[in-house]
Chain A
Amino acid sequence: MTPLLTVEDLRITFPTRSGPSEVVRGVSFTLGRERLGIVGESGSGKSQTGRAILGLTPPPGKATAKVLDFDGTDLRDASPATWRKLRGARMSMVMQDPKFSLNPVMTIGRQLVEALKFGAGETRRQARDRALAMLEAVQIRDPERVFRAYPHELSGGMGQRAMIAMMLVTEPDLLIADEPTSALDVTVQVEVLRILDRLVTTRGMGLIFISHDLRLVSSFCDRVLVMYAGRVVEELKASDLDQAQHPYTRGLMNCLPKIEGSQRPLPTLERDAAWAK
């Protein structure tokens, strides 16, 4: 099987007063039609990695790579026209907080139809029907109401589902989800994950799931990359996470409190300067 996405030696640097600071330092991986988790703590470079794939590294940051290939297209110096064809239509991204990533002065319906208009040439009526069907697919009970609603009229869980609908209405081949459920309650979180899960299994979408929650990633994804200080320190099958070799991965697992009687005091993570080298 040819991979959907190939990333080799991805590096992202930001200029600072004390010289360039490299926040992602040589990340390589391939993605098929599967669920790949990227875990790490804040500042590990996991979100920047996700953004760079979509060409969304915020200026003045610069992303470089030896290979950055999406289904046969070289993304490294893609023209704006190429990006327009890819973004939204073939690859899209779900952000962490619906409050900041939906347009507050446009109804959900208009935002959904807008995504479609750029995607494929179809009539207003068809676009509307497709948007409503998508809202239903993400388990929104009253799609007509949500279609007419503004983002502030929706709860966090609803807003997040509306955003997922917006990202999926064009049926992309690759979805990058950056902490898609961190702002949600645990019971809503499970529902949102079910939707993503179904899309991977039924539509054969590739999913990159970025999260700080090791327990969640290990139960949801097929494969996990563990990032520390801009590098992948370990790559393993999600089911084998309890057999992780790297002390950082093990430390992260151990410092989580457990419902079934955890250690007291909790083991803390002893950072080793060598991990960052």
Chain B
Amino acid sequence: MGEVMLEVQALDVTFRRGGDTVRAVRGVSLDVARGESFGIVGESGSGKSTVLRAICGLAPTTAGTIGLKGTSLATPRPADFYRRVQMVFQDPYASLHPRHTVDKVLAEPLAIHGFDRREARIEQALSEVGLGSDFRFRYPHQLSGGQRQRVAIARALILEPEVLLLDEPTSALDASIQAEVLNLLDRIRAERGLTYIMVSHDLAVVAHMCDRLIVMQHGEAVEELTRAALSAHRATTDYTRKLLSASEGYTPA
């Protein structure tokens, strides 16, 4: 395996509210090589999205370390971290400001990080995700779900990050649009040598996109698999086998 891009060691995330404590992530470790695409699969409440949020510094980590290229990350994260690591969220209807045009959505990260040639960068980001420049001054409500997710991807790419964190990027989209967005993500990764961590509940999507993956249940990583092992149905835990058979469709008892 090549150079390690991102490393998570024995991560614990605990939420406390009142007298309740929820241990959402318990001792999860993973390492992702530069240029690799890594998947996290699990059902709702398994803690898969929380791992991504913890990497971004958006969840209270109670134990464990997160390192980017060998440097352990401080909390709060330095501004430079957010230029190098960007996230694409699940719901394109909720993650774009309804009263900001596409132009404003894309210009904001450029302004925050002090980029030059903003005009050219916005044009380029739009064409890279397959939206023409006539989309530039539209509002989110004038776009379809797939187009919105393309804008969200453009917003992440415009900072030229090294790592993209993808939280269920296609689960709100129709199957045909999902295929287009997955192809787009695949192409961009190949062109730019990006590193992906992708969270999904859909085993088939992760099998298609990722080289390696972990399966999470109740906050713990229960199994790590390669794409080859997954496609050959070589799962060692019952839980993964159950997920595999459920993803094939309905089988009468």
A residues whose Cβ falls under 8 Å from a Cβ of B:
41-42, 156, 185-187, 189-190, 193-194, 197, 212-216, 218-220, 251-252, 255-262, 264-269
Q: Is B69 an interface residue (CB 8 A)?
A: no
Q: Restricting to B227-250, which residues have a CB under 8 Å from any CB of A? A: 230-231, 233, 242-244, 246-250
Contacts of B231 in A (CB 8 A): 259-261
Contacts of A193 in B (CB 8 A): 250
Q: Report A209 CB to chain B, min CB distance, Å.
A: 10
Chain B residues touching A, majority SS: helix
Q: Is B183 an interface residue (CB 8 A)?
A: yes
Q: Report A255 CB to chain B, min CB distance, Å.
A: 4
Q: How far is the CA of A42 from the CA of B203 in the complex (A)?
A: 22
Contacts of A41 in B (CB 8 A): 174-176
Q: How far is the CA of A257 from the CA of B198 in the complex (A)?
A: 15
Contact A252 B175, beta carbon cutoff 8 Å:
yes
- B204 touches which one: A216, A220, A256 (CB < 8 A)? A256
How many CB-defined contacts (below 8 Å) exist between A and B? 91
Contacts of B175 in A (CB 8 A): 41, 212-214, 252, 255-256
Contact A156 B44, beta carbon cutoff 8 Å:
yes
Contact A216 B250, beta carbon cutoff 8 Å:
yes
Q: Is B7 an interface residue (CB 8 A)?
A: no
B residues whose Cβ falls under 8 Å from a Cβ of A:
43-44, 145, 174-176, 178-180, 182-183, 186-187, 201, 203-205, 207-209, 230-231, 233, 242-244, 246-253
Contact B246 A186, beta carbon cutoff 8 Å:
yes
Contacts of B253 in A (CB 8 A): 194
Contacts of B183 in A (CB 8 A): 265-266, 268
- A265 touches which one: B187, B249, B250, B252 (CB < 8 A)? B187
Contact A190 B250, beta carbon cutoff 8 Å:
yes
Contact B203 A259, beta carbon cutoff 8 Å:
yes
Contact B186 A265, beta carbon cutoff 8 Å:
yes
Contact A268 B43, beta carbon cutoff 8 Å:
no
Highest count of chain B CB atoms <10 Å: which of A41, A257, A261, A266: A257
Contact A190 B246, beta carbon cutoff 8 Å:
yes
Q: Report A7 CB to chain B, min CB distance, Å.
A: 25
Contacts of A212 in B (CB 8 A): 174-175
Q: Report A203 CB to chain B, min CB distance, Å.
A: 16
**3 pairs of A and B residues whose beta carbons are closest in the complex:** A219-B249, A257-B208, A255-B179
Q: How far is the CA of A251 from the CA of B174 in the complex (A)?
A: 12
Q: How far is the CA of A264 from the CA of B182 in the complex (A)?
A: 10
- B179 touches which one: A185, A187, A197, A266 (CB < 8 A)? A266
Q: Report B45 CB to chain A, min CB distance, Å.
A: 8
Q: Report B23 CB to chain A, min CB distance, Å.
A: 18
Contacts of A187 in B (CB 8 A): 43, 242-243, 246
Q: How far is the CA of A265 from the CA of B230 in the complex (A)?
A: 19
Q: How far is the CA of A2 from the CA of B127 in the complex (A)?
A: 57
